[in-house]
Amino acid sequence: LRKRLHLKAYRLSIVQHLTDADKVVRKDFCKFLDFVIFSDESTFHVSGKVNIDNCRIWGSENPRVSLEHVRHSPKVIVFCALSKERVYGPFFFMETTITGSVYLDLIPQLDEDDQEERVHFQQDGAPPHYLGEVREYLNARFPGRWIGRAAPIAWPPRSPDLTPLDSFLWGFVKDRVFVPPLPASVVELRPRITASVAEVTPEMLRSVWQETDYRWDVCSITNEVTLNRNYPR
Protein backbone atom coordinates (compact mmCIF):
# COMPACT_ATOMS: atom_id res chain seq x y z
CA LEU A 1 0.00 0.00 0.00
CA ARG A 2 2.73 2.45 0.92
CA LYS A 3 5.44 1.52 -1.59
CA ARG A 4 3.45 0.59 -4.69
CA LEU A 5 0.15 2.47 -4.36
CA HIS A 6 1.50 5.31 -2.22
CA LEU A 7 -1.45 5.09 0.15
CA LYS A 8 -1.55 5.96 3.81
CA ALA A 9 -3.72 4.78 6.70
CA TYR A 10 -5.74 7.52 8.33
CA ARG A 11 -7.55 7.60 11.63
CA LEU A 12 -10.79 9.48 12.22
CA SER A 13 -10.65 12.20 14.85
CA ILE A 14 -13.70 13.72 16.48
CA VAL A 15 -13.39 17.48 16.84
CA GLN A 16 -15.60 20.29 18.03
CA HIS A 17 -16.64 22.82 15.39
CA LEU A 18 -16.13 26.33 16.75
CA THR A 19 -17.76 29.41 15.28
CA ASP A 20 -16.06 32.79 15.30
CA ALA A 21 -18.40 33.83 18.12
CA ASP A 22 -17.31 30.77 20.15
CA LYS A 23 -13.68 31.81 19.87
CA VAL A 24 -14.45 35.25 21.29
CA VAL A 25 -16.22 33.73 24.31
CA ARG A 26 -13.39 31.24 24.87
CA LYS A 27 -10.78 33.98 24.76
CA ASP A 28 -12.66 36.21 27.20
CA PHE A 29 -13.34 33.31 29.55
CA CYS A 30 -9.83 32.01 30.31
CA LYS A 31 -8.89 33.99 33.42
CA PHE A 32 -10.32 32.11 36.42
CA LEU A 33 -8.19 28.98 36.42
CA ASP A 34 -6.71 28.99 39.93
CA PHE A 35 -10.06 29.14 41.69
CA VAL A 36 -12.39 26.94 39.65
CA ILE A 37 -14.24 23.79 40.67
CA PHE A 38 -14.98 22.01 37.38
CA SER A 39 -17.92 19.59 37.26
CA ASP A 40 -19.37 17.13 34.77
CA GLU A 41 -21.37 13.93 34.34
CA SER A 42 -20.36 10.84 32.41
CA THR A 43 -22.13 7.60 31.50
CA PHE A 44 -20.54 4.21 32.23
CA HIS A 45 -22.05 1.16 30.48
CA VAL A 46 -21.61 -2.32 31.89
CA SER A 47 -20.72 -3.56 28.40
CA GLY A 48 -17.58 -1.41 28.43
CA LYS A 49 -16.20 0.20 25.31
CA VAL A 50 -14.50 -0.68 22.05
CA ASN A 51 -11.20 1.08 21.45
CA ILE A 52 -10.91 1.76 17.70
CA ASP A 53 -8.04 4.27 17.97
CA ASN A 54 -5.38 1.72 17.01
CA CYS A 55 -7.53 -0.45 14.74
CA ARG A 56 -6.54 -0.70 11.05
CA ILE A 57 -7.74 -3.28 8.54
CA TRP A 58 -5.80 -3.48 5.28
CA GLY A 59 -6.40 -6.06 2.62
CA SER A 60 -7.23 -6.73 -1.01
CA GLU A 61 -10.77 -7.81 -0.06
CA ASN A 62 -13.30 -6.87 2.56
CA PRO A 63 -12.55 -9.17 5.54
CA ARG A 64 -16.27 -9.21 6.43
CA VAL A 65 -15.51 -8.76 10.08
CA SER A 66 -18.39 -7.88 12.37
CA LEU A 67 -18.23 -6.56 15.91
CA GLU A 68 -20.98 -7.33 18.38
CA HIS A 69 -22.39 -4.38 20.29
CA VAL A 70 -24.69 -4.70 23.28
CA ARG A 71 -27.75 -2.50 22.92
CA HIS A 72 -29.39 -1.01 25.98
CA SER A 73 -26.54 -2.13 28.21
CA PRO A 74 -27.15 -1.34 31.89
CA LYS A 75 -25.48 1.91 32.78
CA VAL A 76 -24.74 4.31 35.59
CA ILE A 77 -24.40 8.07 35.32
CA VAL A 78 -21.59 9.53 37.41
CA PHE A 79 -20.98 13.08 38.60
CA CYS A 80 -17.54 14.32 39.63
CA ALA A 81 -16.05 17.71 40.34
CA LEU A 82 -12.39 18.62 40.31
CA SER A 83 -10.40 21.50 41.74
CA LYS A 84 -6.71 22.27 41.88
CA GLU A 85 -6.39 20.28 45.09
CA ARG A 86 -8.94 17.47 45.08
CA VAL A 87 -11.55 15.37 43.30
CA TYR A 88 -15.14 15.50 44.58
CA GLY A 89 -17.05 12.27 44.20
CA PRO A 90 -17.86 10.08 42.46
CA PHE A 91 -21.57 10.67 43.02
CA PHE A 92 -23.91 8.16 41.40
CA PHE A 93 -27.30 9.00 39.92
CA MET A 94 -29.82 6.24 40.48
CA GLU A 95 -32.02 7.56 37.65
CA THR A 96 -31.36 6.65 34.02
CA THR A 97 -32.24 10.19 32.93
CA ILE A 98 -30.98 13.23 34.80
CA THR A 99 -33.47 16.03 35.39
CA GLY A 100 -32.88 19.46 36.83
CA SER A 101 -34.50 18.43 40.12
CA VAL A 102 -32.25 15.38 40.44
CA TYR A 103 -29.18 17.51 39.70
CA LEU A 104 -30.28 20.10 42.26
CA ASP A 105 -30.40 17.41 44.94
CA LEU A 106 -26.78 16.50 44.15
CA ILE A 107 -24.82 19.74 44.01
CA PRO A 108 -25.27 20.71 47.70
CA GLN A 109 -23.15 17.64 48.52
CA LEU A 110 -20.04 19.61 47.56
CA ASP A 111 -18.22 20.74 50.70
CA GLU A 112 -19.50 23.88 52.36
CA ASP A 113 -15.99 25.30 52.79
CA ASP A 114 -15.86 25.90 49.04
CA GLN A 115 -18.04 28.99 49.43
CA GLU A 116 -15.07 31.26 50.05
CA GLU A 117 -15.17 34.30 47.83
CA ARG A 118 -12.39 33.33 45.44
CA VAL A 119 -13.94 30.00 44.32
CA HIS A 120 -15.78 29.73 41.00
CA PHE A 121 -18.03 26.76 40.15
CA GLN A 122 -18.20 25.52 36.55
CA GLN A 123 -20.89 23.46 34.88
CA ASP A 124 -21.62 22.97 31.19
CA GLY A 125 -24.78 23.89 29.32
CA ALA A 126 -26.66 20.59 29.73
CA PRO A 127 -30.45 21.06 30.06
CA PRO A 128 -30.64 19.86 33.73
CA HIS A 129 -28.16 22.59 34.67
CA TYR A 130 -30.46 25.25 33.21
CA LEU A 131 -33.38 24.64 35.59
CA GLY A 132 -34.46 27.88 37.26
CA GLU A 133 -34.11 26.41 40.75
CA VAL A 134 -30.56 25.26 39.94
CA ARG A 135 -29.56 28.74 38.83
CA GLU A 136 -31.17 30.28 41.89
CA TYR A 137 -29.22 27.92 44.14
CA LEU A 138 -25.92 28.69 42.41
CA ASN A 139 -26.60 32.43 42.53
CA ALA A 140 -27.03 32.12 46.30
CA ARG A 141 -24.08 29.82 46.91
CA PHE A 142 -21.63 31.28 44.38
CA PRO A 143 -22.89 34.84 43.85
CA GLY A 144 -21.35 36.16 40.64
CA ARG A 145 -18.92 33.25 40.70
CA TRP A 146 -20.45 30.39 38.78
CA ILE A 147 -19.87 29.46 35.16
CA GLY A 148 -22.42 27.95 32.81
CA ARG A 149 -25.43 28.64 30.65
CA ALA A 150 -27.23 31.87 31.63
CA ALA A 151 -24.63 32.29 34.36
CA PRO A 152 -22.76 35.36 35.61
CA ILE A 153 -19.80 33.95 33.66
CA ALA A 154 -20.61 32.28 30.35
CA TRP A 155 -19.22 28.80 29.74
CA PRO A 156 -17.81 28.74 26.18
CA PRO A 157 -19.91 26.35 24.08
CA ARG A 158 -18.28 23.33 22.47
CA SER A 159 -15.19 23.60 24.66
CA PRO A 160 -14.43 20.22 26.31
CA ASP A 161 -10.72 20.98 25.83
CA LEU A 162 -10.97 23.66 28.54
CA THR A 163 -12.16 21.38 31.34
CA PRO A 164 -9.89 18.74 32.92
CA LEU A 165 -12.76 16.31 33.41
CA ASP A 166 -13.12 15.87 29.65
CA SER A 167 -9.43 16.12 28.82
CA PHE A 168 -8.22 13.96 31.73
CA LEU A 169 -10.51 12.49 34.39
CA TRP A 170 -13.07 10.50 32.43
CA GLY A 171 -10.48 8.91 30.18
CA PHE A 172 -8.26 8.07 33.16
CA VAL A 173 -11.13 6.44 35.06
CA LYS A 174 -12.59 4.50 32.12
CA ASP A 175 -9.19 3.11 31.15
CA ARG A 176 -9.03 1.52 34.61
CA VAL A 177 -12.66 0.51 34.96
CA PHE A 178 -13.00 -1.34 31.65
CA VAL A 179 -10.21 -3.90 31.92
CA PRO A 180 -10.91 -7.64 31.59
CA PRO A 181 -12.82 -9.21 33.07
CA LEU A 182 -15.47 -6.55 32.50
CA PRO A 183 -18.00 -5.94 35.25
CA ALA A 184 -21.04 -8.17 35.00
CA SER A 185 -23.51 -5.68 36.47
CA VAL A 186 -23.96 -2.12 37.68
CA VAL A 187 -23.37 -3.45 41.21
CA GLU A 188 -19.84 -4.48 40.16
CA LEU A 189 -19.34 -1.35 38.07
CA ARG A 190 -19.81 1.22 40.85
CA PRO A 191 -16.95 0.10 43.14
CA ARG A 192 -14.60 -0.01 40.16
CA ILE A 193 -15.45 3.59 39.39
CA THR A 194 -14.98 4.63 43.02
CA ALA A 195 -11.62 2.88 43.23
CA SER A 196 -10.40 4.39 39.95
CA VAL A 197 -11.32 7.93 41.00
CA ALA A 198 -9.45 7.34 44.27
CA GLU A 199 -6.28 6.63 42.26
CA VAL A 200 -6.01 10.30 41.25
CA THR A 201 -3.12 11.68 43.29
CA PRO A 202 -2.16 15.25 44.21
CA GLU A 203 0.80 14.92 41.85
CA MET A 204 -1.56 14.05 38.99
CA LEU A 205 -3.73 17.05 39.79
CA ARG A 206 -0.72 19.35 39.69
CA SER A 207 0.23 18.01 36.27
CA VAL A 208 -3.35 18.29 35.04
CA TRP A 209 -3.56 21.87 36.27
CA GLN A 210 -0.32 22.79 34.53
CA GLU A 211 -1.68 21.35 31.28
CA THR A 212 -5.04 23.09 31.73
CA ASP A 213 -3.26 26.34 32.58
CA TYR A 214 -1.31 26.02 29.34
CA ARG A 215 -4.49 25.39 27.36
CA TRP A 216 -6.16 28.44 28.87
CA ASP A 217 -3.10 30.60 28.19
CA VAL A 218 -3.03 29.53 24.55
CA CYS A 219 -6.76 30.15 24.24
CA SER A 220 -6.54 33.63 25.80
CA ILE A 221 -3.81 34.89 23.48
CA THR A 222 -4.69 33.19 20.20
CA ASN A 223 -7.65 32.41 18.00
CA GLU A 224 -6.94 28.68 18.03
CA VAL A 225 -9.53 26.05 17.24
CA THR A 226 -9.32 23.11 19.68
CA LEU A 227 -6.39 21.84 21.72
CA ASN A 228 -7.55 18.28 22.21
CA ARG A 229 -9.30 16.29 19.53
CA ASN A 230 -10.58 13.25 21.39
CA TYR A 231 -12.67 13.44 24.53
CA PRO A 232 -13.61 10.20 26.32
CA ARG A 233 -17.23 10.32 27.48
- Per-residue confidence band for 59, with pLDDT thresholds at 50, 70 and 90: low
For residue 117, give every residue at least 6 positions away whose Cβ sits within 8 Å of its Cβ, in sequence order, or none. 145
Q: What is the pLDDT of residue 57?
A: 53
In this prediction, residue 189 carries a pLDDT of 94
Per-residue confidence (pLDDT) for residue 94, from 0 to 100: 81
pLDDT in tens, 69-124: 666 778 899 999 999 889 999 999 887 788 999 999 998 887 655 556 778 999 98
Q: Which of 52-61, 118-127, 164-173 has the lowest mean pLDDT?
A: 52-61
Helix (H) / strand (E) element for 92: namely strand 87-93
Any idea what the Cα angle at residue 190 is, between residues 188 and 192, rounded to 5°?
A: 75
Name, of 54-63, 112-121, 130-139, 145-154, the range with top average pLDDT: 130-139
Tell me what pLDDT residue 62 has: 66
Query: Is the model's pLDDT at 165 over the cut of 90?
Result: yes
Share of the chain above pLDDT 90, in %: 38
Long-range contacts: 83-90, Cβ < 8 Å, 24+? Answer: 83/36, 83/37, 83/38, 83/114, 83/119, 84/34, 84/205, 84/209, 85/202, 85/205, 86/205, 87/169, 87/197, 87/200, 87/205, 88/37, 88/39, 89/197, 90/193, 90/194, 90/197
Strands 120-122 and 36-45 turn out to be: parallel
pLDDT per residue over 11-37, tens digit each? 666 667 778 888 888 887 777 666 889
Reported confidence tier of residue 233, pLDDT bands at 50, 70, 90: very low
CATH 3.30.420.10 fits 20-63+71-219, yes or no: yes
173 or 228, which is more confident?
173
Kindly state the average pLDDT of the residues 127-146. 93
First and final CA of the chain: distance in angstroms?
34
User: What is the strand order of the sheet 146-148 is part of?
Assistant: 87-93, 75-82, 36-45, 120-122, 146-148, 153-154
Q: Which residue has the higher pLDDT, 99 or 48?
A: 99
pLDDT of residue 32: 62
For residue range 181-200, what is the model confidence (pLDDT) as tens digits?
888 899 999 999 999 999 99
- Average pLDDT of the chain to the nearest whole number: 82
* Mean local confidence (pLDDT), 146-161: 87
Percent of the chain with pLDDT over 70: 79
pLDDT at 167: 87
Q: Closest Cα to residue 18, out of 31, 9, 27? A: 27
Task: Return the DSSP state at 155.
Answer: P
User: CB within 8 A of 148, min separation 6: which ones?
Assistant: 122, 123, 124, 125, 129, 138, 154, 155
DSSP state of 159: -
Give tens-digit pLDDT for 208-232.
Answer: 999 988 888 888 777 554 444 443 4
